Amino acid sequence: MQIISTGLDGLLLLEPPVYKDSRGYFFESYNAKQFLINGLEYFFVQDNESYSHKGVIRGLHYQVGLMAQAKLVRVALGEVLDIALDLRKDSPTFGKHYSVILSSNNKKQLLIPRGFAHGFSVLSEEAVFLYKCDNYYSKAHEAGFNPLDTQLAIDWKVSPKMIQISDKDLAWPSFPHH
């Protein structure tokens, strides 16, 4: 597994080796031993999957307090623009975001530590998005920021007329930039 720094502390891009032949391909999407060998000490407790179509933006979501979550995210079908926003006030990259294309073709994964908000936009006709979490979902601890906050200036790579966002995500506050 190749581990690539993103420039935001703890936020890592992972590229697993993919073995292809005439039958198709095989790769390990997660191996606890490989994580430990590389100093990545996570214990994932919940797997989630979402299906979306082109133009959908989900996020920017996170959980607060004791229910904060780290996530290992990837795409099983299609292509998304994945976004991680640093919420750690003591971090030199507080308020900065990282974006990467994750797809069923490139097999890249993003390891998002606790202290980040997360979201993605769907660039392909449809997408199946998978993520492992190191803490359980808690409705009482969910939080978010409006993904269209102009001060964040995130280019979601989706034409404005195609954007589809839930009312709940649009109701999240803007990011506090001070």
**With contact defined as beta carbons under 8 Å apart, do 75 and 103 qualify?**
yes
Domain-located, residue 177: no
Number of domains in the chain: 1
Residue 2 in this model has a pLDDT that exceeds 90? yes
pLDDT (mean) for 51-57:
98
Residue 177 in this model has a pLDDT that exceeds 90? no
**With contact defined as beta carbons under 8 Å apart, do 119 and 58 qualify?**
yes
What whole-number distance in Å separates Cα of residue 87 and Cα of residue 33?
A: 29
- Taking Cα atoms as reference points, which of 10, 9, 11, 13 lies closest to residue 1? 13
**With contact defined as beta carbons under 8 Å apart, do 114 and 68 qualify?**
yes
**Mean of the per-residue pLDDT values of the chain:** 96
Within 13 Å, how many C-alpha atoms sit on residue 71's CB side?
26
Residue 20 in this model has a pLDDT that exceeds 60? yes
What whole-number distance in Å separates Cα of residue 70 and Cα of residue 77?
A: 22
61 an active-site residue? yes
Read off the CATH number of the domain in which 69 is found: 2.60.120.10
Range of the domain at 88: 2-171
Name 64's bridge partners. none
The predicted-structure confidence for 99-158, as pLDDT tens digits, reads as follows: 999 999 999 999 999 999 999 999 999 999 999 999 999 999 999 999 999 999 999 999
Domain-located, residue 164: yes
Instruction: For the chain, give the number of residues.
Output: 178
19 an active-site residue? no
pLDDT for the residue numbered 178: 57
What whole-number distance in Å separates Cα of residue 147 and Cα of residue 42?
A: 27
Domain-located, residue 40: yes
pTM of the full predicted structure?
A: 0.95
pLDDT (mean) for 26-32:
95
Domain-located, residue 176: no
The residue whose two tokens read 């039958």 is: 23
Domain-located, residue 101: yes
Whether residue 14 has a cis bond before it, omega within 30° of 0: no
pLDDT (mean) for 24-47:
96
pLDDT (mean) for 85-98:
96
Task: Count the Cβ atoms, other than its own, within 10 Å of residue 105.
Answer: 12
Choose the catalytic residue: 42, 61, 62, 118: 61
What whole-number distance in Å separates Cα of residue 43 and Cα of residue 152?
A: 31
Residue 74 in this model has a pLDDT that exceeds 90? yes
Q: What percent of the chain has pLDDT over 70?
A: 99
pLDDT for the residue numbered 70: 98
Choose the catalytic residue: 42, 62, 98, 131: 131
